Structure 1
């Protein structure tokens, strides 16, 4: 179910949510967190699809803020009186909902806020509130969301694409117990991540790091296998301009304290291999076609293991299940990153 609210207020939105909970015989108190999404219209639906899937494991209230909304045509130009509510709604949020319930407009006069409330199949295991503020409200997003937060649960803010250079100083990020970015999806991943590194705080995490969780677990496991020979150097290969590759190399350099070389392959997709040089030869793990990798160790038979590419749902689910600071990530971006050439 999707409810549309044109030219409304947060008080009206909160009241409508309460009424919908009563109608459905449920309460919002079973939500384990509030997830705030800061996104543009072009990425809204994809972000909500990811959240809806991830919320099956982590029931939450989602507040999605569209940061590039435009005033509805009937308010901004004085035209369009003959247009339907759905048409005016589409001008701001970018998509007319399948089920549209008209709610009386707010009394503030000038057009400032459109909203959607999504329940049931349209919202995963929780409810989704889509806010499309314009004009002065864009300067007070923290004040805008406060009335809609679920009481006494953590607040997480996620920027699916373009993130602020300092998430902890952002109006939304400053209210959050965990801040999730995805620099790889930004317009300039390298520049975005460099700014994030410079301002990194304990509650910050980037999904580029989460994408290498399985790689880190598998590599730690094979290094721990006998014979326990010291690693002399490491080569990491994979997709060029790919932050997870750079983070994996930085993690290995930090943990092993040996030279790590990054081999960037223009035609590669994701990470393709890691090669440890030891006195007995090369110990390696290489990705095969599909969701598998092969482990090669001197004097032993090759071993094939499962190594699927991690989806956005996988990564977001992992971070929503772990809201405490990731000390390893903080150490890698502050110390390990400088131990590897990222040219």
Structure 2
């Protein structure tokens, strides 16, 4: 059910939502959180679709905020969606025109569900300091994606300077399967690690962060090699017996190579945005590991670590706890390199 409201108000939207639920036979909602999506018109449909899929695991009221400051006349239009493709939750699409786009919080706050957490997600470049954004101030978690900016390292540096507990980034979330697989390899085949290397698409922030994480957790030199991708294409952990290698050249199937063992294919498909958002919604407490990562993300590889890393065995056991992403440290020579398309404009970023 989709109900369009033109030149409306927050109170009218709330009343319409209650009527729509009753008409659909659901007078109450089982939502466990409110998910606010702050985006541009061109991104709003894909973001809404991804959030609706994630809400099947985490029932939520989804509020999509699309600002149109270039329009002279101040006006609020809305779409109320209940049932069908929206999943078990509800979707409210708000289009804020004119000066109203600078006061999105005044429109959104009356539509928040009472006594449930609020999560704000920016699917595009997003603000440098999410906690200072009008829609980020009252959120328990704030989700950004540095890969959507043409200079992702610039975004990470800005967010490191303005970090607040509750901030996180999908460039970090994309690394969970890689960290899990590498931790499992070290757990099954413990070796003394003397160095590591990460290869991946030039300018990909997840490849950069993975290299930093490995260096801090293993306390060994880590190199970063740029290639055509897609995303991260391989990781090697150097040992006296030979490299432990996890390679994924096609973005679908990876191969795990361990000295003295036959090569093994492993599933390591690049995940869609809905899966990433669903993972982030599983934990609404501050990500302390991401915070520590930001502290060290811009330290050159030539400088020593701020804190000595743990043993390989301890790092493997800690990293295997998938719900608790682990910290990283420092930068590489390819960090922040811009990728441009044939016409000279920034090329779109891919996930890890």
- In the alignment, which residue of structure 2 is the partner of 1:64? 64
The alignment partner of 2:229 has SS state of: coil
Q: How far did residue 190 of structure 1 move?
A: 2.8
Once residues 124 and 171 of structure 1 are traced to their aligned partners in structure 2, the CA distance between those partners, rounded to angstroms, is: 27
Deviations 1:252-273 (A, max 9, x none): 11101111110011x2211111
Deviations 1:9-65 (A, max 9, x none): 001001111111122221444101000000010101111111111111111001101
- In the alignment, which residue of structure 2 is the partner of 1:148? 111
Deviations 1:88-141 (A, max 9, x none): xxxxxxxxxxxxxxxxxxxxxx64211111111142221111111122322221
Moved more, 213-222 or 181-190: 181-190
**1:294 pairs with one of 247, 255, 258:** 255
- 8 Å contact kept, 2:74–2:99: no
Q: How far did residue 193 of structure 1 move?
A: 2.4
1:262 aligns with 2:253: no
Give matches, 1:1-343, under 5 Å: 1-68=1-68, 71=71, 111-226=74-189, 228-265=190-227, 267-289=228-250, 291-335=252-296, 337-338=298-299, 339-343=330-334
- 8 Å contact kept, 1:253–1:336: no
Aligned length: 304
Moved more, 24-33 or 199-208: 24-33
Once residues 297 and 104 of structure 2 are traced to their aligned partners in structure 1, the CA distance between those partners, rounded to angstroms, is: 35
- 8 Å contact kept, 1:69–1:132: no
- 8 Å contact kept, 1:2–1:122: no
Give 1 or 2: higher helix fraction.
1
The alignment partner of 1:53 has SS state of: helix
- 8 Å contact kept, 2:69–2:98: no
Which ranges of 4 or more aligned residues in structure 1 deviate by more than 4 Å? Answer: none
Once residues 141 and 231 of structure 1 are traced to their aligned partners in structure 2, the CA distance between those partners, rounded to angstroms, is: 51
Give the superposed CA RMSD: 1.6
Once residues 235 and 17 of structure 2 are traced to their aligned partners in structure 1, the CA distance between those partners, rounded to angstroms, is: 50
Once residues 250 and 290 of structure 1 are traced to their aligned partners in structure 2, the CA distance between those partners, rounded to angstroms, is: 21
Once residues 191 and 313 of structure 1 are traced to their aligned partners in structure 2, the CA distance between those partners, rounded to angstroms, is: 25
Deviations 1:61-84 (A, max 9, x none): 01101023664xxxx6xxxxxxxx
The alignment partner of 2:265 has SS state of: strand
Once residues 237 and 201 of structure 2 are traced to their aligned partners in structure 1, the CA distance between those partners, rounded to angstroms, is: 19
Structure 2 unpaired stretches of 5+: 300-329, 335-352
When normalised by structure 2's length, the TM-score is 0.82
For residues 154 and 216 of structure 1, do their structure 2 counterparts lie closer, same or farther at Cα, with a shift above 3 Å needed?
Answer: same
For residues 27 and 321 of structure 1, do their structure 2 counterparts lie closer, same or farther at Cα, with a shift above 3 Å needed?
Answer: farther
- 8 Å contact kept, 1:142–1:175: no
Once residues 202 and 279 of structure 1 are traced to their aligned partners in structure 2, the CA distance between those partners, rounded to angstroms, is: 41
Structure 1 unpaired stretches of 5+: 77-109
- 8 Å contact kept, 2:68–2:101: no
